[in-house]
Structure 1
Amino acid sequence: MSRPALALTLLLAATMPGWADPAPAYGPELEGYAYPFPVERFTFTSQRQPLQMAYLDVRPETPNGRTAVLLHGKNFCAATWEGQIRALTGAGYRVIAPDQIGFCKSSKPAAYQFTFRQLAENTHALLEKLGVTRPVIVGHSTGGMLAAHYALLYPKEVEQLVMVNPIGLEDWSAKGLPPVSLDQWYQRDLKTSADSIRAYETATYYAGHWEARYEPWVEMLAGLYRGPGKEAVAWDSALLYDMIVTQPVVYRFPQIAVPTLLIIGQKDNTAIGKDMVPADRRATLGNYPELGKAAAKAIPGARLVEFPNSGHAPQMSEPEAFNAALIEGIGR
């Protein structure tokens, strides 16, 4: 077919019902996906290999002298904090939002001992490089577990801890999750698609209610699994699942010694690997109304804010109310 004929065919196809642009495919470090703010890179050596951590560093027009560090969850990136970054900078906060190693626009090492301590140390090294001292540490989901570990490691260097629907509030292995090998996690992750992401997020993140505004974040993740680095992305994801399941932070909550705010969507039911748990125990997992209250009781002096109608991601399902609660909570 000649080029003019091909162009005409595509033009006609684009006007036909059901036409859609090809699904995007991104590189292993999310090459091709644009973030809403300039992306910077922190290059460092860890576990005898050079790595780079992508991060956002967004400054306010009228600074209040405080910095908030936003730590993303397992199926999230620094970019998914866009609404919170705009709200926080509008309130005077400098905001730093990194992509952790193994995620999004950061390195995907083929061999790396992923631990929450290691990710906390990486984040601490980034903040030292930026000259940031005593920030407010805000973590969501897996980032909530990381935030807790950061506060445990560096209690004198954290002004305040905020955990948003953190996982690790219960020990899934102790509650019935059987041992899962890295190869099993890897094979499960290779099956990731836009449809599977959307179905999971509808059920857990958004309390059964899907909105079109969530779709860009689905395509962000699905594009990684359509791209040339699919295997590297899936392998690091498997390593991270193993880290999450084998390193629950719940047992260390009484040791947290910084002011803590818990923000919990009450319709969350997250429990990684729940489908592999025996049916008679499955329904007991991911009960966030109970888990949030238990965490608030275990962490000395913690304050709990509940979002009755939100699932795992209240910052995305109710952004205005969430941002107001966050800014009020860290302003105390």
Structure 2
Amino acid sequence: MSTSSSSNPEIANSVRTGAFNTNVHDVGSSKPGQPPVLFIHGSGPGVSAWANWRLVLPVVSQERRVVAPDMVGFGYSDRPEGIAYNMNTWVQQALDLMDAMGIEKADVVGNSFGGALSLALAIRAPERVRRLVLMGSVGVKFPITQGLDDVWGYEPSLEEMRKMLDIFAHSRALVTDELARLRYEASIRPGFQESFSAMFPAPRQRWVDAMASDEAAIRALPHETLIIHGREDQVIPLQNSLTLSQWIPNSQLHVFGHCGHWTQIEHTARFNHLVSQFLTEADEAP
């Protein structure tokens, strides 16, 4: 593992995962018997692990070791020429990362696209996952929303980024000119838009379907699972989380009112408390 000396907070450690390097934040420490927490980001334009989890990692890392990678094709991980951007690739990257970092088992927190990946990871390697947190999760089939179609179809401009932020957040107060400018600039960094546009070309319903896990496999998951959703989410329908809560036997569902797709940003303190409490309960279980 190498550590970047860059002043950019989005760039952290570089870890070799298979044939490419993954940019990963690795902070905090766990007590004996506590697994690290693996945070997997969503799939918005210009996203990175840091942009997605910047308000969460400093809090959770006070109690646990937290690991937050940029999945291949996103953020500051490598973008290998000819790589297939699909769930198999991303699941393998997650497993390679855990192996490289000496993580036998982790609690896994997935946002949106990251929720679909977390589900797929738990299905493929159930012994590597202790508990699951799924936030505004993909992973089941649904008719693509206009919001998600717009997000995946993003064409870089400051005005388009403002529209994206309006889709993500329920409260307009969060959608500042400064945030729009920062996210727009992130979306046009070298290689970012090229890989992003290559992942989800139209028609985009097929990518929703491709991220879905088999119903029987989801129903067979033994893991304790916390499912979180914003009631006013325009990107991923609340019905997704209702379905997951019905299918996953050991699950609980928390719906945030006055909340869009950015639960961890729109209700940061409550989100952090809810997740920390859920994971701590697992530590204290007999």
Q: Same fold (TM over 0.5)?
A: yes
CA distance in 1, matches of 2:214, 2:253: 16
Post-superposition shift, 1:169? 3.5
1:110 match: 81
**2:103 counterpart SS class:** coil
For 1:119, give the aligned amino acid: W
Deviation, structure 1 residue 295:
1.4
Tell me, what secondary structure is at the counterpart of 2:58?
helix
Question: Cα distance 1:87–1:231, how it changes in 2: closer, same or farther (>3 A)?
Answer: closer
Q: How many residues align?
A: 267
Which residue does 2:195 correspond to in 1? 233
Superposition pairs of residues 228-267 of structure 1, within 5 angstroms: 228-229=190-191, 232-238=194-200, 243-249=207-213, 251=215, 252-267=217-232
Instruction: Please name the residue that 1:67 is paired with.
Output: 36
**1:211 pairs with one of 161, 174, 178:** 174
The corresponding residue for 1:16 is none
3-state DSSP of counterpart to 1:56 = strand
Whether 1:305 aligns to 2:269 is no
Separation in 2 of the partners of 1:228 and 1:162? Answer: 32
Query: Aligned equivalents of 1:246 and 1:224: distance in 2?
Result: 27
Q: Is 1:87 the counterpart of 2:76 in the alignment?
A: no
| Cα distance in 1 for residues equivalent to 2:161 and 2:100 | 35
Change (3 A) 1:259 1:105: same
1:268–1:311 CA contact under 8 A, matched in 2: yes
- SS of the residue aligned with 1:256? coil
- Are residues 246 and 40 of structure 1, via their aligned partners in 2, closer, same or farther at CA, if it must alter by over 3 Å? same
Q: Give yes or no for contact 1:114–1:239 (8 Å, CA) kept in 2.
A: no
Change (3 A) 1:83 1:213: farther
Distance 1:132 1:41 in 2: 16
1:127 aligns with 2:98: yes
Q: 1:202 to 1:235 in 2, by over 3 A?
A: closer
- For structure 1, the 5+ residue unaligned runs are 1-31, 272-285
Q: Is the 8 A contact 2:119 2:213 kept in 1?
A: yes
Cα contact 1:108–1:236 (8 A) shared by 2: no
Q: Where do 1:160-171 residues align within 5 Å?
A: 160-171=131-142
Change (3 A) 1:206 1:250: farther
The match for 1:40 among 13, 26, 39 is 13
The CA distance in 2 between the partners of 1:316 and 1:237, in whole Å, is: 25
User: Residues 146-200 of structure 1: CA distance to partner in whole angstroms, max 9, x if unpaired?
Assistant: 0000110111121101101112343337x99xxx9xxxx99x44x2223212212
Aligned mates of 1:307, 1:88 — CA distance in 2: 20
8 Å Cα contact 1:110-1:236 kept in structure 2: no
Give the 3-state SS of the residue equivalent to 2:173 in structure 1. Answer: coil
What secondary structure sits across from 2:116 in the alignment? helix
Matched-pair contact (CA < 8 Å) for 2:74–2:196: no
| 2:162 is equivalent to residue 198 of structure 1 | yes
Pair 328,248 (structure 1): closer, same or farther in 2 beyond 3 Å: same
* Deviation of the 1:249 alpha carbon: 2.6
Q: TM-score, normalised by structure 2?
A: 0.82
CA drift of 1:265 comes to: 1.0
Partner amino acid, structure 1, of 2:235:
T
Could you say what secondary structure the match of 2:25 adopts?
Answer: strand
What residue is the counterpart of 1:281 in the other structure? none
Contact 1:110–1:232 (CA under 8 A) maintained in structure 2: no
Distance 1:169 1:44, change over 3 A: closer
The one-letter code matched in structure 1 to 2:191 is G
Distance 1:250 1:198, change over 3 A: farther
How much does 1:239 deviate?
6.5
Matched, 1:320 2:269: yes
Aligned to 1:141: 112
Aligned to 2:284: none
Distance 1:249 1:235, change over 3 A: same
